[in-house]
């Protein structure tokens, strides 16, 4: 069975405060985008779970979210994990694009189809919440409002598909670090943090403040993107380090990508895609 695991962007991310359990209370509008990891999964007649991945920096032991998702699903359904799973990565790591969470959620969906267990989305999302805060979102395969620490998902159908240019520098950002430094962070002078209205909706991300304070390159990149005539709005997704630009026309993304390389160097990962609400 071949399954595609999409990335996501946060069109809006607001932090309501810190929870008693140490997590932060969130309200975020998240939407899948058309860049995918690929998961190939098949049952074996005997033996334990086998897992392979093309990315050398991705662990292939029981710490991997795909392996954890497979073992959790099988344990909850009373099934022996006699599986062979091959993950082909396209979504970069530490990017704020939810690649690992999407892989885990897609594994749960694939196993439900493979074993014909007929679990509801709600049941699969509950399993996903044991794996990570973003996993329940990907189970629903839809744009959605997210609340709590990420476990509450309300699918949202009011968005249009829009062209997006994803831009990631050659470094990642720790999500726990970004949240831990949110409260005491200060805005970088001259950098726009306020709400932006565009065809994708209202763009805003509270985590830009701590991330931009430490990584001035990202602040400069956002300002540059907003100033380009092809761009309606630009924002960091999640805790970064990826920024996305909402484009007026998808074809304009090619020329914009070339200018990005000339302006900021060829170390950037640039990907032209669109939202899949």
Q: Which one of 155, 187, 208 terminates a domain?
A: 155
222 catalytic residue (yes or no): no
224 pLDDT above the threshold of 80: yes
Regarding whether 147 and 167 lie in a shared domain, the answer is: no
Distances (CA, A) of 239 to 94, 233, 267: 9, 18, 20
Q: Which one of 130, 155, 180 terminates a domain?
A: 155
| Domain of 128, in residue numbers | 2-155
Regarding whether 50 and 135 lie in a shared domain, the answer is: yes
Q: How much of the chain exceeds pLDDT 90, in percent?
A: 92
Mean pLDDT over residues 236-254, rounded? 97
Task: Name the active-site residue from 103, 112, 134, 206.
Answer: 134
Regarding whether 252 and 123 lie in a shared domain, the answer is: no
Mean pLDDT over residues 191-195, rounded? 96
Regarding whether 169 and 139 lie in a shared domain, the answer is: no
Regarding whether 102 and 34 lie in a shared domain, the answer is: yes
206 catalytic residue (yes or no): no
Q: What is the DSSP string of 244-277?
A: EEEESSTTHHHHHHHHHHHHH-TT-EEEEEEB--
Mean pLDDT over residues 60-70, rounded? 97
- Contact (Cβ atoms closer than 8 angstroms) between residue 105 and residue 135: yes
In this prediction the pTM is 0.95
Per-residue pLDDT of 133-159, as tens digits, reads: 999 999 999 999 999 988 899 999 989
Task: Name the active-site residue from 8, 89, 168, 222.
Answer: 8
Q: Which one of 114, 133, 155 terminates a domain?
A: 155
Regarding whether 186 and 122 lie in a shared domain, the answer is: no
């Amino acid at each position: 069975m071949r399954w595609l695991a999409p990335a996501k962007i946060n069109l809006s991310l607001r932090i309501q405060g810190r929870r008693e359990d140490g997590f932060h209370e969130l309200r975020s509008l998240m939407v899948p985008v058309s860049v995918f990891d690929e998961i190939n999964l098949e049952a074996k007649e005997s033996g334990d779970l086998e897992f392979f991945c093309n990315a050398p920096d991705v662990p292939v032991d029981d710490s991997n979210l795909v392996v954890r998702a497979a073992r959790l699903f099988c344990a909850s359904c009373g099934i022996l994990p006699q599986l062979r799973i091959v993950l082909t990565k396209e979504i970069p790591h530490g990017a704020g694009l939810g690649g690992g969470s999407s892989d885990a959620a897609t594994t749960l969906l694939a196993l439900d189809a493979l074993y014909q267990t007929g679990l509801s989305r709600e049941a699969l999302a509950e399993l996903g919440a044991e794996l990570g805060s973003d996993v329940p979102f990907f189970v629903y395969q839809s744009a959605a409002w997210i609340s709590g620490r990420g476990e509450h998902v309300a699918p949202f159908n009011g968005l249009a598909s829009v062209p997006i240019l994803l831009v990631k520098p050659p470094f990642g950002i720790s999500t726990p670090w970004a949240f831990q430094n949110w409260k005491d962070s200060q805005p970088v002078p001259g950098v726009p943090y306020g709400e932006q209205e565009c065809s994708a909706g209202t763009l805003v991300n509270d985590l830009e403040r701590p991330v931009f304070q430490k990584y001035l390159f990202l602040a400069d990149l956002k300002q540059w993107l907003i100033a380009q005539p092809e761009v309606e709005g630009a924002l960091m997704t999640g805790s970064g380090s990826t920024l996305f630009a909402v484009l007026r026309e998808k074809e304009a993304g090619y020329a914009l990508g070339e200018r990005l390389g000339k302006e900021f160097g060829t170390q950037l990962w640039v990907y032209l895609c669109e939202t899949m609400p």
